[in-house]
Chain A
Amino acid sequence: MIAAVGLVVGVVLGVLLHPEVPVALQPYLPIAVVAALDAVFGGLRAVLDGIFDDKVFVVSFLSNAVVAALVVYLGDQLGVGSQLSTGVVVVLGVRIFSNVAAIRRHLFNA
């Protein structure tokens, strides 16, 4: 519940403040957001599995976002930034799908 409230608060804050993303962060924010989405779905799945652990959630959330951004940054430095960000998005997308599938099986037995 608090998580949902937090999500809403974050959206409202973003709408109200509409901050400018620093130019240096612009290529990495979308990847970080996708990674965080993956962490959130993973946490939801863990809740349903009964193995949710707040420490694991926080660490996975932060490390997912940071590592994803770092990988893309590294790719940019190596000259393969766009390809690598595509790869990261694909991997995270696959994970999100599998997590959502697990959640669906838990909730609807289907």
Chain B
Amino acid sequence: MSERPTSATPVPGPWRRLRRAAAPRATRAQVLAGVLCAALGFGVVVQVRQTDTSGLADLRESDLVRILDDTTERGDRLAAEVQELEATRRELTEGSDRAAAAEQAAAARAREYGLLAGTLPAHGPGIVATITDPGSALRSTNLIQLVQELRDSGAEGIQVGGTRVVAQTAFADGSGGVLVDGRPERSPYVVTVIGDPSTLATALDIPGGVRETLRSAGADLDVQQRPGEDGVSLTALHAVSAPQYARPASPQQ
């Protein structure tokens, strides 16, 4: 930076003036300025160090009060947050408990519906009815009557031959036998039923009932009751296909 005397700068120029003032001379002004500047530098360094190391002990009373206020407020806020989070956690725990209960209930219902829909194998006390029809005189109506009679008397699961009887099961006459859901069955027809054995057996024996009808048609009905733990097993399953036309309707209000 060189001296640039212009109309605005007083003569002699500021740089020269600065240089002259800075020239080391043992004048009283120089010495005093040096001493005071030393004091200033000392003070600055001391204060900087003090600021670096100062903890709570160096603070004023008002600052301490403010810090205490801040800390208290912060503590309150955090405590409120803790409460909120604990409430959320409680909600979530209870929610998962409820979800587990709902899952159990849903599984139980699925088992029930599986039995009803014939998609699960079933076991229980019941009867095994065997129809021997040497003359192939049995018609589908006889089987339908049999099934109706069994349902009437509280049958909870019915299997004709290798077919589980469900709501959709259809009986039709075939050549030399009966078609159950399109599957040909022949004599002897074995009908396995779960339900109260004596009630079921009695229902088939009522006058003018299934047994008499079959006998008049030339077929013979043999009923074995299987009460207790042994019981009977329904092993045939009904394959459920997704409904093509039916849709759930919203319940009427």
Contacts and interface: CB of A to CB of B under 8 A. Distances in A.
Interface of A: 1-11, 13-15, 18-19, 21, 23, 26-27, 29-30, 32-33, 36-37, 39-40, 43, 47-48, 50, 52-54, 57-58, 61-62, 76, 81-82, 106-107, 109
B31 A10 contact: no
Interface stretch (B6-14, B82-90, B234-242): B6-14
B45 A15 contact: yes
B176 interface: no
B40 A107 contact: no
Given A5-B34, A10-B37, A50-B17, A33 B43 contact: yes
B58 A6 contact: no
B47 interface: yes
B8 A109 contact: yes
8 contacts: A2-B24, A18-B46, A21-B47, A26-B50, A26-B54, A33-B43, A81-B62, A82-B60
B39 A107 contact: no
Given A30-B51, A37-B40, 16 more contacts: A2-B30, A2-B34, A3-B30, A4-B22, A5-B34, A6-B33, A6-B34, A10-B41, A10-B45, A18-B49, A36-B36, A48-B14, A54-B32, A76-B60, A81-B62, A106-B9
- What secondary structure prevails in chain B residues at the interface with A? helix
Interface of B: 1, 4, 6, 8-10, 14-15, 17-18, 21-24, 27-47, 49-51, 54, 58, 60, 62-63
A84 to B, nearest CB: 12
Nearest to A85: B60
B58 A48 contact: no
Given A14-B45, A18-B46, A33 B40 contact: yes
Contact of B39 (A2, A10, A48, A50): A10
A65 B30 CA distance: 20
Contacts of B51: 30
A40 B38 CA distance: 11
A102 to B, nearest CB: 11
A7 B37 contact: yes
Give the most central of B14, B31, B54: most A CB within 10 Å. B14
A28 B45 CA distance: 15
A50 to B, nearest CB: 6
B7 to A, nearest CB: 10
Contact of B33 (A3, A48, A107): A3
Contact of B34 (A3, A18, A32, A43): A3
Most B CB within 10 A of own CB, among A6, A13, A40: A6
A32 B43 contact: yes
A54 B33 CA distance: 8
Contacts of A37: 40, 44
B23 to A, nearest CB: 6
Contacts of A40: 36-37, 40
Contacts of B21: 47, 52
A48 B18 CA distance: 7
A57 B44 contact: no
